[in-house]
Amino acid sequence: MDALILLGSFLLLILIGMPVAYALGAAALIGAWWIDIPFQAMMIQVAGGVNKFSLLAIPFFVLAGAIMAEGGMSRRLVAFASVLVGFVRGGLSLVNLVASSFFGAISGSSVADTASVGSVLIPEMTRRGYPRDYATAVTVSGSVQALLTPPSHNAVLYSLAAGGTVSIGSLFMAGIVPGIMMNLCLMALCLVFAKKRNYPKGEVIPLKQALKICREAMWGMMTLFIILGGILSGVFTATESAAIAVVWAFFVTMCIYRDYKWSELPKLMHRTVRTISIVMILIGFAASFGYIMTLMEIPAKITTAFLTLSDNRYVILMCINVMLLLLGTVMDMAPLILILTPILMPVIVGIGVDPVQFGMIMLVNLGIGLITPPVGAVLFVGSAIGKVSIESTVKALLPFYAMLFFVLLLVTYIPAISLWLPNLVL
């Protein structure tokens, strides 16, 4: 009955249109009232949920990504990707995916990736003869990489939701191989379409111009090397690397590229603060919601239910994947990570799955949800930028979904894909 009151009230509030963050807080208060917990205890949990040093990484990474996104970085990364792969048949679709990979490694956000790369490449692909829905599908599917490769904001959220038992550095390293694998699989699919549909070849960029493009792009790419290099060398923590990334992004944008006006910085800061305030409210209320779930012993009951269902880890992982895929289509990624991680962590530990690997499984699952209707935020952004209907984009995405599901299965059932690099360097 306790679980029905807590989870039922949360779902009811969502259905009547209340924002997820406030629905979490209100449901937690209803749950506290039901089991006779003082409301003051809930406020302490909310304050404690956001009063963590590691959380500073999120606003800093968001700000660094915003500065680089609006400061001309996306245009330079597209040009750099064109140097690398733009000369083959269907090369512009490969440029799209490679640029998404590079930009995702700077922004850590699928929405920012789609908005920045898509605004440059979808019109250009359409002009070169690619169908508009196909160009949008390539952009949208490629942006899922940003959730895996460092500095992924959602990896930081997963570390927080796991109670700090999973290091952010390990999650950053774990996402590199799956991210590269996803990119290569999508590129292979695009090459097949290019040959089958006779998409145009790109032009070979002259050496002198190519060197200039590479030199300009390297300033922005240094952000990733600063983040990973600092963490792996032990010079600074993941949180400190985020602050340094902001300083470097600001320096490159305002002093080297100089495409951004100083007068526009206050507006950028205002947009970033609005985004971060929403995330922090969500984290605080999720902490109180998780506290009530623990008192009601909901995670333990769900663990028992899964272990009763089967004693085979592969069957349990498949059931968890199906659940995450379905939930990811109807709820946003951040609240699902904060709600489900404390529930599922005892289950995956009980069947012998490494929490770092499970972090990658969760990110891939929920990343697919972001590009799937009815509540796919990245899908909506891509369709708006591409000026195509949701239905047309989803139809064009069908083969890309199949490739993403293939990557999900590999990440789920081959632990070394996620764990090899963290074990090697950490």
Model confidence over 308-318: pLDDT tens digits?
777 788 888 99
Give the start-end residues of each E strand in 208-347.
Answer: none
| Predicted pLDDT at 317 | 92
For the ranges 64-73, 181-190, 370-379, 397-406, the lowest mean pLDDT is seen at 64-73
How many residues does the structure list for the chain?
426
d(CA 156, CA 176): 15
Q: For residue 85, is it within any domain?
A: yes
Helix (H, G, I), strand (E, B) or coil at 89: strand
d(CA 190, CA 90): 7
| Predicted pLDDT at 395 | 92
Percentage of the chain beyond pLDDT 70 is 99
| Predicted pLDDT at 192 | 92
Tokens of 425: 């360097």
Model confidence band, residue 360 (pLDDT cutoffs 50, 70, 90): very high
Q: For residue 34, is it within any domain?
A: no
The total number of structural domains that make up the chain: 1
| Predicted pLDDT at 62 | 79
| CA–CA distances in Å: residue 234 to residues 149, 183, 238 | 19, 29, 10
Q: For residue 144, is it within any domain?
A: yes
Q: Does residue 49 register a pLDDT over 70? A: yes
Q: Is the dihedral of CA 264, 222, 139, 413 positive or negative?
A: negative
User: What is the CB neighbour count within 10 angstroms for residue 198?
Assistant: 11
Q: Give exposure, 288-307, as e/b (b: 16+ Cβ within 10 Å).
A: bbbbbbeebebbeebbeebe
Model confidence band, residue 82 (pLDDT cutoffs 50, 70, 90): confident
Q: For residue 7, is it within any domain?
A: no
Q: For residue 2, is it within any domain?
A: no
d(CA 384, CA 387): 5
For the ranges 30-39, 50-59, 140-149, the lowest mean pLDDT is seen at 50-59
Average pLDDT, the chain: 83
Q: What is the DSSP secondary-structure string of 199-247?
A: PPB-PPPPHHHHHHHHHHHHHHHHHHHHHHHHHHHTSS-HHHHHHHHHH
Model confidence band, residue 426 (pLDDT cutoffs 50, 70, 90): low
Q: For residue 75, is it within any domain?
A: yes
> Phi/psi class of residue 72: alpha, beta or left (left: φ > 0; alpha: ψ in -120 to 50)?
left
HSE-up (13 A, CA, CB side) for residue 399: 14
pLDDT in tens, 196-231: 888 887 777 887 888 888 888 888 778 777 777 777
Q: For residue 250, is it within any domain?
A: yes
Give me the numbers of helices (H) and strands (E) for the chain, helices first please: 21, 0
Tokens of 163: 């109670």
| Predicted pLDDT at 214 | 83
Which residues span the domain enclosing 165?
Answer: 19-27+39-425
| Predicted pLDDT at 180 | 92
Q: For residue 33, is it within any domain?
A: no
pLDDT in tens, 170-194: 898 999 999 999 999 999 999 999 8
| Predicted pLDDT at 233 | 73
Best mean pLDDT range from 15-24, 44-53, 192-201, 407-416 = 407-416
